[in-house]
Amino acid sequence: MLEKTTRMNYLYDFYQSLLTPKQRSYMSLYYLDDFSLGEIAEEYEVSRQAVFDNIKRTESMLEEYEEKLLLFHKFQERKVILEKMKKAQETSSLEELSGLIEALEKLE
């Protein structure tokens, strides 16, 4: 569950501008502020089921955006490459650094 929450938080960070204000609010309360479905329902004076449906639909939308745009995937790849670059810098491997720079350029 923690892994899903972390993934949704990242996807929300990357794609929140593509969501409606209500979707942003529900996702923020549920994933960032750790509100329960009942608490969100009470806040917006809707049913718990309505909140649940909205969150599930929004999660699916975020996954679809990621499938098409790959912003989170590229972010993860950049993170790995940067770590490798730091290690290569310590060992002064210019050849390895050049290869990693090329890999970063290909991500764009």
Per residue in 48-105, pLDDT (tens digit) is: 999 999 999 999 999 999 999 999 999 999 899 888 888 777 776 677 777 888 887 8
Question: Do both 8 and 60 map to the same domain?
Answer: yes
Residue ranges making up the domain that contains 77 = 73-107
Question: Do both 77 and 65 map to the same domain?
Answer: no
Question: Do both 7 and 58 map to the same domain?
Answer: yes
Count: domains in the chain: 2
Mean pLDDT of 24-37: 97
Q: What is the CA radius of gyration of the chain?
A: 19
User: Contact at 8 Å (CB) between 62 and 54?
Assistant: no
20: which DSSP letter?
A: -
pLDDT at 20 over 90: yes
Question: Do both 24 and 62 map to the same domain?
Answer: yes
Instruction: Write down the pLDDT at residue 92.
Output: 67
In whole angstroms, what is the distance from residue 14 CA to residue 104 CA? 19
Mean pLDDT of 26-55: 97
Q: What is the pTM of this model?
A: 0.82
Instruction: Write down the pLDDT at residue 105.
Output: 82
